[in-house]
Structure 1
């Protein structure tokens, strides 16, 4: 990956809907060159897809929480399968340190959050959980 590839990615991370024509003008490269670069970035897996990222106003109807899970040894596969089946679980990260999983949840109400936390705590192999409810976002650099 060279500077042109990095510049393409930087512009697309700001606006994934930017057209090839606009990208090529901003980067001062031929449209055919830009199209070839995009195809190479897509086929190599550097660009996995184009998506919509909601701003704070778009996410306002959701209550978000981070859940730290400690699990029994050798129970990861079964727990992952159960967590993936829950629509409220947006992200699952494995971690190093005192916890095994870091989950990000999004629910429409505190009652739904409470129910989701109960279901997570009831999964066989979950030793303990700690929930952190998100209050406000002060910085979001995630792409």
Structure 2
């Protein structure tokens, strides 16, 4: 992947519906080059798809946060299965460092959010946790 590929991906992240002509002008290359690069990036697996973010999706979770979880023993796989079973869990990430798992949570209210946290803290093997509320999102991973 070269600089033009990186610029193309950046432009697509900004506006995945941009026309080939607009992308070509932005990158200073031909439409054929843009089309070929997009196809090559798709075939190589660098670009795995395109998505649409609906207004309803953006406001679905008025209360959102990240819960960082420390797990004792070898219960990580079991705890991840339990987390994936909770409707309020939007994503589960394994990580290195102080925390074993980072969980993205979305809820309708602070009370609902607190209930989810309490439920997760009761999972057998959850040794410690820290939670941060998300105040605003300036750039979403899929946007």
How many residues in Structure 1 have an aligned counterpart in Structure 2?
A: 139
Whole-Å Cα distance in 2 between the matches of residues 122 and 61 of structure 1?
23
* Residue equivalent to 1:48: 48
Relative to the length of structure 2, the TM-score reads 0.80
Question: Residues 90 and 103 of structure 2 are in contact (CA less than 8 Å); yes or no, is this contact kept in structure 1?
Answer: yes
Unaligned runs of 5+ in 1: none
Whole-Å Cα distance in 2 between the matches of residues 141 and 33 of structure 1?
28
Matched, 1:140 2:138: yes
Q: 1:53: Cα distance to partner? A: 5.3
Whole-Å Cα distance in 2 between the matches of residues 132 and 22 of structure 1?
39
Moved over 3 A (4+): 52-55, 58-61, 139-143
Whole-Å Cα distance in 2 between the matches of residues 76 and 3 of structure 1?
39
Relative to the length of structure 1, the TM-score reads 0.80
Q: 1:17: Cα distance to partner? A: 1.4
* Residue equivalent to 1:85: 85
Deviation track 1:9-42 (CA, whole Å, cap 9, x = no partner) reads 1211111111223212333333232212101111
Whole-Å Cα distance in 2 between the matches of residues 123 and 6 of structure 1?
42
SS of equivalent residue, structure 1 residue 132: strand
Unaligned runs of 5+ in 2: none
